[in-house]
């Protein structure tokens, strides 16, 4: 069974650069994490930089927090073993502000991936009466500090780009030993350990476009697309082998295979499409589709990462009863969504799926009700109790705050 701490506690995070965080804000999470074509005047869009161009001339600051409760189960020797875990993390910090009536920008800091796992396995050694013990663990993750800019061209066409500084480190360690430890024969087990640490730092890009024609005075149709090109990310790797006793005493000097050796990891291209039908500021129904070429991923040494291409399909809706009303309950926004993901992980020849559903709401707060407190709840499952797969059943809770104000106003002299 897997054991670990932190957000996710996932043995699948041992693969590639770890588990990907959702890139939408808390409002998006409540509606299936759709956001390629849809935008809101009260929330920043962190998924399609082009939609920054749809924003009103106000400055908005957002913060999001994410917590997750998870049950991990696996069938071992015809019995199901289960453990539970809880973790939480900062989801994002983001600031958006206008440059002029057609151009808005944003700055954000958010986690990109995380690695958190700890597993132990026992295997018999062929031709002997002994078995070997193997331990694997990993910690770390990558973060993104981003600048995004979105422009409106004409009445309904929008273009945007996001440049992100990707940084962080991932440490994977493993050790093995043959279980002998016969004190009568004077034999003590020897542990062979490996420590691998990779530090990443480089610029990655996202391009976005949107077309948002009006069908009538109240209705609009939105189309969006984003493209993350394949990128060679600079990295430095340290890789060390060593033999120790069970008590930790050094048996042999560390064998350093690499010490801060420069290299490049290949992150794959990703393409996303979105379409949504909107009754302006009142009702929105949308669908997003994403394609991720994770088979293109290469490690810092240029080796394949044993990943496969991913697919995501999401649908969601958002409803505000009466946005022009003065009654508080008419201004509450409700959301619901569904998401199906083919993850880039394969176990026993089977690609792992993730299926989840979500609900959420936003409460107006503050003067003139222009600020929002948002709650989203997502429940889902990945993997299944077949073969050596690990099933993860989770409930994820997101809490977000969006604060809106008008900056850069010209002084008026009476």
Q: What is the 3-state secondary structure (H, E, C) of 64-111?
A: EEEEEEEEEEEEECCEEEEEEEEEEEEEEEEEEEEEECCEEEEEEEEE
- Asked if the structure places residue 3 within a domain, the reply is no
Residue 29 has pLDDT above 90, yes or no: yes
Token look-up 């015809």 returns: 78
Residue 187, pLDDT > 70, answer no
* Rounded-to-integer distance, Cα 111 and Cα 233, Å: 16
Identify the pLDDT of residue 183.
53
In a domain, 353, yes or no: yes
Buried b (16+ CB within 10 A) or exposed e, 362-399: bebeeeeebbbbbbbebebebbeeeeebbbbbbebbbe
Model pTM? 0.89
Instruction: State the pLDDT at residue 3.
Output: 40
Q: What is the mean pLDDT of the chain?
A: 89
Q: What is the mean pLDDT of residues 191-211?
A: 94
Residue 375 within any structural domain of the chain: yes
Asked whether residue 5 is assigned to any structural domain, the reply reads no
Please give the tally of structural domains in the chain. Answer: 1
- Dist. CA 15–CA 24, nearest whole Å: 23
Is residue 64 pLDDT above 80, yes or no? yes
Once rounded to an integer, what is the mean pLDDT over residues 344-360? 93
Q: Is 110 within the bounds of a domain?
A: yes
Which range of residues forms the domain containing residue 203? 11-405
Highest mean pLDDT among 158-162, 386-390, 409-413: 158-162
* % of the chain with per-residue pLDDT over 70: 92
Q: What is the pLDDT of residue 178?
A: 77
Listed residue (198, 195, 189, 144) closest to 169, CA to CA: 198
Task: Give domain status of residue 4, yes or no.
Answer: no
- Give yes or no for a contact between 196 and 169, defined as CB atoms under 8 angstroms apart: no
143 pLDDT exceeds 90? yes
Residue 414 confidence (pLDDT) = 52
In the predicted model, what is the mean pLDDT of residues 53-78?
90
For residues 413 and 253, the model is more confident at 253
pLDDT of res. 86: 84
Round to whole Å and give the CA distance between 86 and 129: 40
Q: Give the angle 201-205-209 at the CA atoms, nearest 5°.
A: 165
Looking at the predicted structure, is the pLDDT value of residue 410 above 80? no
Confidence of residue 218 (pLDDT cuts 50, 70, 90): very high
Phi then psi dihedrals of residue 355, to 5 deg: -120, 130
- pLDDT, residue 182, reads 55
Could you tell me if residue 414 is inside a domain?
no
pLDDT band at 180 (very low <50, low <70, confident <90, very high): confident
Note the pLDDT of residue 181.
61
Q: Which secondary-structure segment (H or E) carries 340? A: strand 333-347
Lowest mean pLDDT among 96-105, 117-126, 244-253, 330-339: 244-253
In a domain, 52, yes or no: yes
Residue 379: which CATH number? 2.40.160.60
Q: Which of 152-161, 298-307, 313-322 has the lowest average pLDDT?
A: 298-307
Which H helix or E strand runs over 29?
helix 26-29
Q: What is the pLDDT of residue 5?
A: 42
CA 160 to CA 314: how far, in whole Å?
23
Residue 203 has a pLDDT of 97
Tell the burial category of 68 from Cβ atoms under 10 Å away from its Cβ (0-12, 13-18, 19+). Answer: buried
Q: What is the pLDDT of residues 254-275, one digit of tens each?
A: 778 788 899 999 999 999 999 9
């Amino acid at each position: 069974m897997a054991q670990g701490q932190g957000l996710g506690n996932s043995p699948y995070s041992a693969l590639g650069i770890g588990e990907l965080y959702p890139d939408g804000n808390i409002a998006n999470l409540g509606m299936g994490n759709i956001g390629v074509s849809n935008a809101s005047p009260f929330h920043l869009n962190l998924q399609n930089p082009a939609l920054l161009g749809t924003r009103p001339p106000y400055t908005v600051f957002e913060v999001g927090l994410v917590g997750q409760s998870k049950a991990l189960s696996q069938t071992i020797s015809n019995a199901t073993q289960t453990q539970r875990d809880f973790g939480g993390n900062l989801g994002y910090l983001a600031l958006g502000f206008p440059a002029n009536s057609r151009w808005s920008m944003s700055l954000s800091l958010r986690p990109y991936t995380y690695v958190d796992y700890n597993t132990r396995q026992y295997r018999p050694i062929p031709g002997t009466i002994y078995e070997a013990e193997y331990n694997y663990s990993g910690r770390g993750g990558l973060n993104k500090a981003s600048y995004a800019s979105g422009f409106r061209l004409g009445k309904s066409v929008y273009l945007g780009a996001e440049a992100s500084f990707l940084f962080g480190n991932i440490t994977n360690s493993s050790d093995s030993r043959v279980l002998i430890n016969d004190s009568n024969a004077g034999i003590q087990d020897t542990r062979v350990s490996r420590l691998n640490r990779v530090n990443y730092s480089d610029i990655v890009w996202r391009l976005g476009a949107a077309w948002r024609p009006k069908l009538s005075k109240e209705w609009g149709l939105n189309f969006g697309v984003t493209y993350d090109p394949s990128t060679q990310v600079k990295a430095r790797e340290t890789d060390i082998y060593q033999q120790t006793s069970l008590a930790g005493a050094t048996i042999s000097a560390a064998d350093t295979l690499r010490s801060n050796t420069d290299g490049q990891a290949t992150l794959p291209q990703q393409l996303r499409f979105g379409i949504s039908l909107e009754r302006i500021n009142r009702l929105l129904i949308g669908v997003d589709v994403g394609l991720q070429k994770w088979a293109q991923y290469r490690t810092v040494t240029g080796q394949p990462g044993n990943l496969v291409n991913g697919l995501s399909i999401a649908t969601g809706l958002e409803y505000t009863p009466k946005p022009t009303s003065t009654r508080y309950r008419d201004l509450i926004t409700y959301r619901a969504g569904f998401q199906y993901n083919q993850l880039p992980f394969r176990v026993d020849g089977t690609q792992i799926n993730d299926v989840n559903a979500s609900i959420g709401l936003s409460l107006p707060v503050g003067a003139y009700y222009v600020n929002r407190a948002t709650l989203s709840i997502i429940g889902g499952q990945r993997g299944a109790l077949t073969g050596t797969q690990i099933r993860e059943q989770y409930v994820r809770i997101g809490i977000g705050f969006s604060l809106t104000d008008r900056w850069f106003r010209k002084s008026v002299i009476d």
